[in-house]
Chain A
Amino acid sequence: MYGQLIVEGLSIGACYAVFGIAVVIIYKTSEVINFAQGEMAMISTFVAYHILNVYGWPFWYAFIGALFFAVLLGVFIEVCFLRPAKDPTVLGLIVITLGAEMLLMGLASWKWGAEQKDFALPFSFHKTHELFKGVVINDWSIAVFVMAAVLMIFLYIFFRYTKLGVAMRATQQNEHAARIMGIKVERVFSFAWGFSSLIGALAGMFFAARSTLDPAYMMEPFLRAFAAAVLGGLMSIPGVVIGGGILGILENFVGFHWPAWKPIVAFLVIVAVLCIRPSGLFARHYEKKV
């Protein structure tokens, strides 16, 4: 029984982790929690839904189309909403992302309506494979694991070995010095938003297949991905992945023993981490030399 709980917890945790990576990428570059992250993924998933059901194109067209749209949306929000704010405070930035969130939610309700829709991926929940005796795993979970693993490897290579990836880290550590090197910092920011939006849309489609698709369906996954990111210290990609795994398992165990408490696990985790160890479980304490 517990084996099954762990497998399922890890698979949903991997999905939180992927979405949490999107949150972390923006937090690292723009130093703001992007509260519109969930809604950006939601709109992108709606675009996939639209291509599938209105145009009737095959799934992979819709999938690629949604990712493409997600990149444009991320860049658009950075350029039009965040960049004009000169010398913004953290609070100001949060208000901007909250505004973007409401705008996107309103837009989705107006275009596609508030009722719940079905969104299916070609990875079914009903096709299961036996891992060990009595422990099964379904296609959706396998796809999530594969996606998370590929993404991790890709990001590792990107941030370590490509010029743009290293420049992104450099910009995040010292924007002034990055400008001195001739790095176009504005472009790095736009890129980070587009990239994060794309990763968010990937996770968003998996969440939609698991629950339903409506303008508010990403609110809960966002809270959980945020909790995973807080567990990992908000700054580290491996941290958020481990955080996602821990949260997924924790949630499943609580849900199994005390079902009524399951929805607030993520919230409790956020509060507990912020009170006890605000820099996350795996913080590397780094002293800044002036």
Chain B
Amino acid sequence: MLKVNNIETWYDLIRALHGISFEVKEGTIVALLGSNGAGKTTTLKTIMRLLYDLREEQPEKGTIEFMGVRIDRKDTEEIVRMGISYVPEGREVFPELTVAENILMGAYTRKDRKGVKEDMERLMARFPILAERRNQEAGYLSGGEQQMLAIARALMSRPKLLMLDEPSLGLSPLLTKQIFDIIKELNEKDGVTILLVEQNVNMALKYAHFAYLMENGRIVRADRPEVLREDEDVKEFYLGIATEQSVKGFKRYRRKVRFR
């Protein structure tokens, strides 16, 4: 469905993406994992063509294909219309618009008023918290509620592919699970393909069908989650489980605390 081919993105003189390639197959959940500064957000922004404040056209090299059509030089508006939605890092709701107005903005590229109304009611039924706060300003919602709102808003354009940038950022474990369950349900029930960027590798590997690991603007691993979970490097660097050889020669597992 989405094919990213050897793309390079530059921030002025700094190369943030060193030619990365990956693929998202229709109907799957694909996770894009990596530590801070690996270039995950940059990848999503490049796909959405949101690097508008840069001088050069981005990506400088490589191609991006969505359903067989090249989109790497199309406007964001057209990309949204073609069926890609993006839930940005840190939610980015419109703070002084009401919840309902926020959701309506997600349907900005759509022309069918009746369909928009119906979709809105359907989403309100699906996210009861948002229905309750329908006429409240989005800036006063809690972080978790804002994340739900950002997802609901992104769904209003009826995306075929939904890209989420760290949806679990700053959420409690319980809420994180809730968000992941929503993502799973969207994928299974509504058939939305999902590209998920996460720092919470453990969680992401539980839900994804396929995962890519990024480091310093490159893709370093690509495999199924079952395989990655058992990988020693992944365990040590991403899951925070170090395996050390102790003096007595048996393996000891230690949980490392990771600071973010």
- Chain A positions within 8 Å of B, measured between CB atoms, are 86-87, 163, 166-167, 169-170, 173-174, 176-184, 286-290
- Tell me whether B95 and A174 are in contact (CB under 8 A): yes
A182 touches B109 (CB 8 A): yes
Task: Report whether B50 and A180 are in contact in the complex, using a CB–CB cutoff of 8 Å.
Answer: yes
Interface string of B241-258 (1 = CB under 8 A from A): 000000000000000000
What chain B residues lie within 8 Å of A177 (beta carbons)? 88, 92-94
Q: List 12 A-B contacts (CB under 8 A).
A: A86-B53, A166-B101, A166-B105, A167-B108, A176-B50, A176-B92, A177-B88, A179-B52, A180-B88, A184-B75, A288-B95, A290-B90
Judging by beta carbons under 8 Å apart, are B80 and A182 in contact? yes
Q: Are B52 and A182 in contact (CB under 8 A)?
A: no
B side interface size, CB within 8 A = 31
Q: How far, in whole Å, are A181 and B154 apart by their CA atoms in the complex?
A: 8
When A180-B50, A182-B80 are in contact, do A169 and B109 touch as well, CB less than 8 Å? Answer: no
A75 and B98 alpha carbons, distance in the complex (Å): 29
Q: Say which residue of B55, B94, B108 sits within 8 Å of A173 (CB atoms).
A: B94
- Residues 94 to 119 of chain B near chain A (Cβ within 8 Å): 94-97, 101, 104-106, 108-109
Measured CB to CB, the nearest residue on chain B to A176 is B92
- Cross-chain contact B92 with A182 (CB below 8 angstroms): no
Q: Given contact pairs A86-B53, A286-B96, enumerate 7 new A-B contacts (beta carbons under 8 Å).
A: A167-B105, A170-B105, A173-B94, A173-B95, A174-B94, A177-B94, A180-B50
The chain A residue sitting closest to B54, CB to CB, is A86
Instruction: Identify A166's interface contact among B55, B77, B97, B109, CB under 8 A.
Output: B97
Q: How far is the CA of A2 from the CA of B127 in the complex (A)?
A: 58
- Known interface pairs A87-B53, A286-B139, A289-B139; A180-B92 also in contact (CB < 8 Å): yes
Which 5 interchain pairs have the tightest Cβ spacing? A182-B80, A182-B77, A177-B92, A182-B109, A170-B94
Instruction: Report Cα–Cα, A119/B104, bound state, in Å.
Output: 46
> Which A residues lie within 8 Å of B96 (CB)?
169, 173, 286
Interface flag for B199 (CB, 8 Å): no
**Does B212 interact with chain A (Cβ within 8 Å)?**
no
Q: Is the CB of B105 within 8 A of A173?
A: no
B17 at the interface (CB under 8 A from A): no
Determine how close the nearest CB of chain B comes to the CB of A233; give it in whole angstroms: 14
Q: Looking at the complex, which one of A178, A180, A289, A290 makes contact with B86 (CB distance below 8 Å)? A: A180
Cross-chain contact B139 with A183 (CB below 8 angstroms): no
B77 surroundings in chain A (CB, below 8 A): 182-184
Partner of A182, one of B88, B90, B94, B157: B157
Q: Which residues from chain B contact A86 at a C-beta distance below 8 Å?
A: 53, 55
Instruction: Say whether B76 faces chain A, with CB atoms less than 8 Å apart.
Output: yes
Within 8 A of A (CB), among B23-69: 48, 50, 52-53, 55
When chains A and B are docked, how far (Å) is the Cα of A99 from the Cα of B75? 32
- Closest-by-CB residue of A relative to B100 is A166
Q: Determine how close the nearest CB of chain B comes to the CB of A187; give it in whole angstroms.
A: 10
In the assembled complex, the Cα of A176 lies from the Cα of B52 at a distance in Å of 10
One of A179, A182, A287, A288 near B81 (C-beta < 8 A) = A182
Q: Are A289 and B95 in contact (CB under 8 A)?
A: yes
Distance of A290 Cα from B96 Cα, bound (Å): 14
Inside 8 A of B90's CB, which chain A residues have their CB? Answer: 290
A181 touches B97 (CB 8 A): no
For B108, the closest partner residue in chain A by CB is A181
CA–CA, A236 and B146, complex, Å:
25
A-contact 0/1 string along B195-233, CB 8 Å cutoff: 000000000000000000000000000000000000000
- Contact partner, A286, options B95, B104, B153, Cβ 8 Å: B95
Q: Which chain A positions have C-beta within 8 A of B92?
A: 174, 176-177, 180
**A289 CA to B55 CA in the complex, in Å?**
30
Within 8 A of A (CB), among B109-144: 109, 139, 143
Decide: A179 near B97, CB < 8 A? Known: A166-B105, A289-B139.
no
